[in-house]
Amino acid sequence: MIQLDCVERDFVRISDKKTVRIRALHNVTLRVKKGEFVLITGPSGAGKTTLLNLIAGVDRPTKGEIKVSGNPLHTMAEKELSIFRNKVIGYMLQFYCLPAHLTAEEQVMLPLLIAGETPPFARRRARYLLEQLGIGSLATAYPGEISGGQAQRIALARALANSPSILLADEPTGNLDESTASQLIDLLVQFNKTKNLTTIVVSQNDSLMRKAHRRIRLESGKIVADNIDDIIEN
Ligand SMILES: Nc1ncnc2c1ncn2[C@@H]1O[C@H](COP(=O)(O)OP(=O)(O)OP(=O)(O)O)[C@@H](O)[C@H]1O
Ligand SMILES: [Mg+2]
């Protein structure tokens, strides 16, 4: 369902009046099956976020082909891509941002309203998701009034709002203590299992390392290890 063939992504930067070309991804070929839970690891600058951005359709490859749920992302027009992102992809960004003037419930309603749902439906769905993630009582709280772990759950609820078939999460436990991180990981595992939600997480977390079906390691823009297991170990 996710297919990358010979994907490259080059960035061009000007440094000291010279053009510098950075190859963030180099000849990446990858298949991810429906319902797989894939962990992506690798050092800073390895290309992890670049890879997620390409799968999410927020960035395009310099070369190569990307198909996600049958959609050829490398050739799709911008309008089609934005519909694809809204319907198919749930994305928890590495440096996510919750607009300060929206309550938790409104943050989750946003992608639903963009998808054309009515406000009453969007509100019901947002409340249901916040409830499911254990933060129903924070529906009317603003980002300034909640903790980091709670904010991550809101970001997760927002990513799940339109019932995506693919969830991408970039360092979702990055700033959390061990026990809060572990609660968020349990939620990711639970959604993967119960909804057969294809899940790709960038993280260096040891517990995720054990729970993922598959661990992919990126170094300098290349896949250097890809261990596929058949079953979840925990
Ligand atoms: N918009 C951009 N313009 C120029 N270079 C970029 C851009 N985005 C990423 N890069 C470069 O591409 C390479 C890969 O970046 P990427 O953000 O994918 O790394 P990462 O593995 O996610 O790192 P981290 O663990 O620090 O988040 C880095 O060398 C980075 O500097
Ligand atoms: Mg990154």
Kindly state whether residue 121 falls inside one of the protein's structural domains.
no
Confidence check: pLDDT of 103 > 70:
yes
Compute the distance from residue 107 Cα to the ligand 2 centre, in Å. 23
DSSP strands (E only) in the chain: 2-15, 18-32, 37-41, 63-68, 71-72, 89-92, 166-170, 198-202, 214-219, 222-228
Kindly report the CATH number assigned to the domain that includes residue 64. 3.40.50.300
Give the global pTM. Answer: 0.94
| The pLDDT of residue 229 | 59
Question: For the stretch 193-202, what's the b/e string if a residue is b when 16 or more beta carbons lie within 10 angstroms of its beta carbon?
Answer: eeeebbbbbb
- 150 domain residue, yes or no: no
Extract the tokens encoding 161.
């709002």
Is residue 115 included in any domain, yes or no?
A: no
pLDDT tens per residue, range 8-64: 999 998 888 899 999 999 999 999 999 999 999 999 999 999 999 999 999 999 999
Overall domain count for the chain: 1
Range of the domain at 32: 2-96+163-228
| Residues in contact with ligand 1 (CB, 6 Å cut-off) | 11, 13, 22, 24, 42, 44-50, 94
Place of tokens 């250097």: 224
Residues 86 and 115: beta-carbon distance below 8 Å? yes
